[in-house]
Structure 1
Amino acid sequence: MSKKTILTCAVTGNLTMPSQNPALPITPEQIATAAIDAGKAGAAIAHIHVRDPETARGSMDLARYTEVVSRIRDAGSDIIINLTTGEGGRFMPGLEEPREAGPGTTLTTPERRVAHVEALRPEICTLDFNTMFSGTGVVINTPRNLGIMAERIRAAGVLPEIEIFDSGDLQLAKVFLAEGKLASPALFQIVLGVRYGAVANPETLMYLKSQLPPDAMWAAFGIGRMAFPMLAQAYLLGGHVRIGMEDTVYIDKGELTRGNVQLVEKAVGIITSLGGTLATPAEARAILGLR
């Protein structure tokens, strides 16, 4: 475990709601502040979604992304910005006619899903390879649409973080690598504990790690009660790690977290207690080969 460990803070996501924890960042100012403060607490990367402040639901509004990114940069924070492209992939089958989109559908074009990445050019953005049942809807990421998104992300000079929710997602990503649609070495994020996706346990993580390309850079995280156990497991297997209010709203069993900073501080404590050293943003840029 001699190499530095990169800690990502996923500050808000798009599914966690304020009813679960009132400390959840919702407005662009709150999200930017959460990212900046996470960096001060030890995170090298901030993974960012934006929200509609009126409904608290996930948003694709470029103006909100622009405000968040500008606030982080104007504050002088050197934290690495990682924007999601996960919004716009959800289909809710209509109850009367399943072929028709029902309320809550966000499914849109691949070009629309990466428009904010092309406009703002963060250092990293996510690229979700999952097609799966999620909640009461279906997340759809077709190979065609992923190919378009990957091409436009590369043209923008942004590093895609390949989100893997199960073994089939990894197989599709490896096809993309073989076909040159993704560059090597690729950065993978292994997502554990989403219902009907990869189970959050050591055996699943060890299997998925074993199937990664030999030169892959990777991280992993768990959600809910498995957030901290999977953080420790990812570190022990040589990966990078993630925590944040997108993944858990608790700091301990039955105890709501005060916010992202408290989660990051606990993550830093776990890694350092196991003998690890957290990478600074500058060190993370060198590890990931960022510009």
Structure 2
Amino acid sequence: MSNHTPHSKVVITCALTGNLTKPEQSPYLPITPAQIADSAIAASRAGAAVVHIHVRDPKTGRPSMELELYRETMERIRARVPELIINLTTGPGGRFVPSDDDPRVAGPGTTLMKPELRVEHIAALRPDIATLDLNTMNSGAEVVINTPRNIRRIAERIRAVGALPEIELFDSGDCHLARDLIADGTLVGPGLFSLVLGVKYGFSATPETMMYGRNLLPDGAVWSGFGIGRAEFPMVAQAWLLGGHVRVGMEDNLYLAKGVLAESNAALVARAVEILRCLGAEPATPAEARAAFGLS
């Protein structure tokens, strides 16, 4: 099946709070498990079939990998919208900041941890989908490190619990690595992919770049494309035109328009639905998204 044909039913993923967005940037950013779950449910009602979840320390608002925060968030969502597809991150734990005195030594801000610790919540909670970041790249003044060896260890544990890996691609080298991981059996093809556009030093958020990234995917792959910041809504239209699904949410963008903060994730989803309907498409239901992604 081609991955180049626009869908009549488009899967919308809502990335609710993320890892890098700061609470001081928006008073509407969900922080606590209750806030994140409420935001997920509202996003679902607005048209999202998938919610992508990070959690945060309720006291500080800073990113967290605390298992019980993930558990509470998932339980709150499952109790109210059991059909909603839950996608949990495994991204945190790959950031390295060299110290000023010795670049071999980690400095403040480093989050590097054993791959097994990055997937403890996946093994315990068994979400529908778990992200798998393939990027090793500059990220601002820091570096994100995901070596092929560690990626294989994370992928093995995601697959062992029956979660579907969503393979996150930040630049063209990630696409080539993904093909190697399918070829050696680490991943099962043709795969579920997400093209991340607009992160500085990665894929730029342009039509040409999205087409290039899509063309590097295996034939028959299912994919989404999304843009960071002001590229979010233009990339909704672009992903659909190129045969992909879409993602929006406060992890990626806080604004409905220049200078206008989105008051909820649901508002961002509603804008994506509006764009897609203007193009002649409709948001997929969770059941339709499960069929599109090959989920039981």
The TM-score normalised by the length of structure 2 is 0.97
Residue identity opposite 1:163 in structure 2? E
Residue identity opposite 2:27 in structure 1? P
Q: How does 1:1-291 map to 2 (within 5 A)?
A: 1-291=6-296
C-alpha separation between the residues in 1 aligned to 2:39 and 2:153? 31
Determine if contact 2:189/2:218 at 8 Å carries over to the other structure.
no
What is the match of residue 3 of structure 2?
Answer: none
Superposed CA deviations along residues 193-229 of structure 1, whole A, max 9, x for unmatched, are 0011110000100111111101111000000010000
Residue identity opposite 1:155 in structure 2? A
C-alpha separation between the residues in 2 aligned to 1:124 and 1:61? 18
| Cα RMSD (Å) | 0.9
Superposed CA deviations along residues 34-83 of structure 1, whole A, max 9, x for unmatched, are 11110011000000000112221211100100010011011234210000
Determine if contact 2:170/2:197 at 8 Å carries over to the other structure.
yes
Residue identity opposite 1:126 in structure 2? T
Determine if contact 1:39/1:77 at 8 Å carries over to the other structure.
no
C-alpha separation between the residues in 1 aligned to 2:35 and 2:7? 35
Determine if contact 1:36/1:77 at 8 Å carries over to the other structure.
no
Residue identity opposite 2:144 in structure 1? V
C-alpha separation between the residues in 2 aligned to 1:77 and 1:229? 31
Structure 1 residue runs of 5 or longer lacking an equivalent are none
- Per-residue deviation, 1:2: 4.8
SS of the residue 2:283 aligns to: coil
C-alpha separation between the residues in 2 aligned to 1:102 and 1:135? 15
- Per-residue deviation, 1:135: 2.1
Determine if contact 1:223/1:247 at 8 Å carries over to the other structure.
yes
Count of residues in correspondence between the two structures: 291
C-alpha separation between the residues in 1 aligned to 2:35 and 2:25? 17
SS of the residue 1:160 aligns to: strand
Determine if contact 2:7/2:243 at 8 Å carries over to the other structure.
no
C-alpha separation between the residues in 2 aligned to 1:48 and 1:277? 24
Residue identity opposite 1:141 in structure 2? N
SS of the residue 1:227 aligns to: helix
Determine if contact 1:118/1:156 at 8 Å carries over to the other structure.
yes
Identity rate, percent: 60
Structure 2 residue runs of 5 or longer lacking an equivalent are 1-5
Higher RCO by CA contacts (8 Å cutoff, separation 6 or greater): 2
Q: Which runs of 4+ in 1 moved over 2 A?
A: none
The TM-score normalised by the length of structure 1 is 0.98
C-alpha separation between the residues in 1 aligned to 2:140 and 2:53? 21
SS of the residue 1:19 aligns to: helix
